[in-house]
Amino acid sequence: MPTTLTVRILGAGISGLASAILLAADGHRVELIDERFEAPAVGTSLGLFGPAQTALARLGLLDQVRAMSAAPDAGTLRSADGRVLAAVPAGKALLISRSDLVRALLEALPESVERRRRRVEEVRPLRDGADLLVGADGAHSLVRRSGWPGQGRARSHGVTVLRGTAAIAPPEISETWGRGWLFRITPLAGGGTNWFACLPEHRTGSRDEDLAHLRRSLGGRRDVIDEVLAAASTEQTLVHGLHTAPAVWPVRQNVVLVGDAAHAMAPNLGHGANTALQDAESLALALRHAQSRASQGPSPQQGPSPQEGSLQSPSAVVAPALRRYSAARALPGQGWRLGSEAMLRVAMSSRGAPLRDRVLHCTTGRLAERRSSSARHAERRGVPR
């Protein structure tokens, strides 16, 4: 008989909701705590790749998410003067609005999951009576700060991120790298434009003023950016700082970190939500594996096996499951975080920007231009690709 665990999850974002759905489906008693259970008001786009799609299939949500998503077109990386620096392939990602994804997860939450709406100020009481505490509480995770003292604080990159949606067709699918700034334009599922920008830290506390600052800083650089910024509105714009998680091993005793709490990354590789879904799937699979191992009992060398139908102690399941989870997820999570930070540095470099642009344009940029011009020729001659 599988051991039923009492699992407490702090955070009902993508990682917490996905974990709650999968663990409740496996019969565990799940309590999910968040100060708000709601989808974000501004539906900026997320790109979900193959492994995250596998996790969505396990959640039973892949078809629903596919129906709400757009397939991305290929785009280009450009310099501030419009030169092509590299091609950005379309891949087989699904582009979905973050609001739609969180709404789908909220709707899929089984009745059996106990929802507690409150702000948590102290982690210790959360461990009382729980076999497992899951920290799914985002980049500034309280669970991480209290369980990993001295090394749990998120790191600021001195960058302000503005992101939003605009009710126009995307004038181009691109990311433009300037001197100390970047601007990305992608399509929005259902029509419209998704955009995001990074600038050196500048936040006034007023979204109106922050958007005006962005328009002043990037206005006149490229027509496509001007077009998107002219269509952007304060109501459909979010402004925040950019923080990434420290390098921590995501497991301590019976506490585990998932999603941004484990490895909050810079947005430059577009993988935060992907890794959040994979963490949730991996945690559920690790617990299932440990349950089945525990119910088979110890090997003959380890002593007598438990009586048929008897329950294993929760720690006999949790400890090996968390070892398995951390072996599977610690390095990929930290790898994406480090890669995204490196990409952020290159994208936001200021003095090095002219050299960066020259090198990229002469290598990957020229290759991308040659490929796209031969594709255009082939199309004119009617050659199937």
Within positions 235 to 274, which residues make up the interface with ligand FAD, using CB under 6 A?
259-260, 267, 270-274
What distance in Å separates the CA atoms of residue 49 and residue 271, rounded to the nearest whole number?
Answer: 9
Min dist CB 70 to ligand FAD, Å, is 13
Would you say how long the chain is, in residues? 385
Q: Which of 376, 379, 372 is nearest to 174 (CA)?
A: 372
Asked if 124 interacts with ligand FAD (CB under 6 A), we say: no
**Site mask for ligand FAD (CB under 6 A), range 37-56, x = bound:** ---------xx---------
Name beta bridge partners: 33: 10, 116
Asked if 100 interacts with ligand FAD (CB under 6 A), we say: no
CB of 133 within 8 A of CB of 219? no
**Site mask for ligand FAD (CB under 6 A), range 132-161, x = bound:** ----xxx---x------------------x
Asked if 34 interacts with ligand FAD (CB under 6 A), we say: yes
Asked if 282 interacts with ligand FAD (CB under 6 A), we say: no
Looking at the Cβ atoms of 47 and 365, the one nearer to ligand FAD is 47
The single residue among 28, 144, 145, 163 that binds ligand FAD, judged by CB under 6 A, is: 163
Asked if 35 interacts with ligand FAD (CB under 6 A), we say: yes
What distance in Å separates the CA atoms of residue 77 and residue 87, rounded to the nearest whole number?
Answer: 6
CB of 120 within 8 A of CB of 126? yes
Looking at the Cβ atoms of 229 and 294, the one nearer to ligand FAD is 229
Q: Which of 4, 320, 290 is nearest to 131 (CA)?
A: 4
Contacting range for ligand FAD; rule: CB under 6 A; set: 8-16, 64-72, 146-154, 314-322: 8-16
What distance in Å separates the CA atoms of residue 144 and residue 245, rounded to the nearest whole number?
Answer: 9
CB of 267 within 8 A of CB of 244? no
What distance in Å separates the CA atoms of residue 329 and residue 15, rounded to the nearest whole number?
Answer: 13
CB of 94 within 8 A of CB of 57? no
Asked if 319 interacts with ligand FAD (CB under 6 A), we say: no
Looking at the Cβ atoms of 183 and 360, the one nearer to ligand FAD is 183
Residue in the structure block whose two tokens are 């009586």: 307
**Residues at the contact surface with ligand FAD, assessed by CB under 6 A:** 11-16, 33-36, 46-47, 119-120, 136-138, 142, 161, 163, 196, 259-260, 267, 270-274, 276
